[in-house]
A = this chain, B = another copy of it.
Amino acid sequence: MKKKLNIGLVGYGFMGRTHSNAYRKVGNFFDLKYEPVLKAVCARNEQNAKAFADTWGYQSVETDWRKLVQRDDIDVIDICTPNNTHAEIALAAAAAGKMILCEKPLSMNGPEGLKMVKAIEKAGVPNMVWYNYRRVPAVTMAKQLIDEGRLGRIFHYRAKFLQDWTISADLPQGGQALWRLDIKAAGSGVTGDLLAHCIDTAVWLNGSLEKVSAMTETFIKERTHTLTGKVEKVGIDDACTFMGRFNNGSLATFESTRYARGHKALYTLEINGEHASIAWDLHDLHRLQYFDHRDQSNLRGWRSIHVTDGDHPYMGKWWVPGLQIGYEHTFVHQVADFVEALGKRKPAAPTFRDALETQYVCDSVLKSAKTGRWEKVPKSK
C-alpha cells in the first residue's frame, strides 16, 4: 500500500495545470512509494478555483493560502503563483513544516531568495524548484555524458531562449494573464522568466558562473496596464544578452528575448568540449545532437539521437522506441524524482539553494546591464 502525499496547490494558471497533470500521471508510469493526492487547490477567486478543482479532481478548495498552509491534511505546498508572492508563501509553509515545491524563478531577487533558503533549511523541509527542463530526457542524457567525461575539457557553453509573443505594442501588461510583463509581479522580464531556465541548466551541466557582462533592452517602452487601464512605463527587460566565464574556464554566451520573430519557445543549448559537443533545443525536445571527434575521421558527423529508447533517461517508463513524449512529461519526471528522493530522505535537485545560485546570476546580469561592467556572481553555497 502506497503512502499518500497530500498536495496543496496555490495558483491554478498554466503551471497549476502542468503540475496537476504530473501528480495525476506519475503513478501510472513510475512505481513509487508515495502516491500524490490532489488534496486542495487555493486561489482567491473561489469560482475559478472550484472549476479547476472539478477539472483536475482536487478534493477541496481554499481561497486563502494562509489557511491552506495551516491545514493538517496537507503535506506539500506547491507554489504556482506570480513571482512576487513566492517568498511570503514559502516562509509561511516552512514555518508550518510543509514540504515546498516552488515555481521558478525562486524569488524576486537574490536577497529575497536567501531569506527563503534560510527559512526552509532551518525548517528542514524537503524542497524543490520547478526548473523542469533538467528532466527533458535529452537534457538529462547530456548531463550523463558530461559526467562520464565524454566531452573532455569544456571550451564553450551557449544558450538562447527566443520567443516572439510580445512584439505587438497593443499587448497590455499586468493582470492575471500578463503578470509576466509587469515588473512588480515578475521582478524582471526575460531574465527571470527565460534566462533563469538557461542558467539553471547551465550551472547543472557545466558548473558555476564566475562573472558576467550583460546588456538588456526594453523595446516597447509603454504599455497599457490591465489593472489600471492606463498606459504605464514598462519596467521589465524585453531582451537580455550576457557573456560570462564559468569557473571551469569555459566561456558563456547567453541570450533571451521575446522579440525574435518566428520562435515560440526556442530554448537552445550547446556545449563544446575537447572531444565532443552536444546540442539540444526545446522545439524538438526529443532529440539530442551529439558530435564525437573520436569517431573515425571520415565518418564524423552530428548524430541526431531520437531519445525515445528504453536505455535513454526516463524513457523506459513510457512507450516504445520512436514514439516521442512532450513538454508535460518533464513535470512528471520531476515529481517522480522528488518522490523517490523523499523515500530515500535525500534532497531532490534543484533545491531552493540550487535555485538561489540562478537568482544570484540573474541579479549580477541585471546589475551588469546597468553598470556596463563585468560583475562577479556571489557564491550561493
Contacts and interface: CB of A to CB of B under 8 A. Distances in A.
A241 B158 CA distance: 11
Interface of A: 14, 17-18, 20-21, 24-25, 27-28, 55-56, 141, 155-156, 158, 162-165, 167, 213-215, 217, 219, 239, 241-243, 245, 249, 251, 253, 255, 257, 259-266, 272-277, 282-286, 288, 290-293, 295, 297-306, 308-309, 311-312, 318-329, 372-374
B324 A283 contact: yes
A306 B283 contact: yes
Given A215-B213, A303-B299, A260 B239 contact: no
B262 A320 contact: no
A308 B261 contact: no
Copies of this chain present: 4
A63 B112 CA distance: 59
A206 to B, nearest CB: 15
A321 B165 contact: yes
A156 B262 contact: no
A369 to B, nearest CB: 10
A311 B301 CA distance: 14
A20 B14 contact: no
B323 A323 contact: no
Contact of A213 (B167, B286, B372): B372
Given A14-B319, A25-B25, A260-B272, 17 more contacts: A156-B257, A241-B251, A242-B243, A251-B257, A261-B274, A262-B272, A262-B293, A264-B308, A290-B301, A298-B311, A301-B306, A302-B303, A303-B303, A323-B327, A324-B324, A326-B326, A326-B329
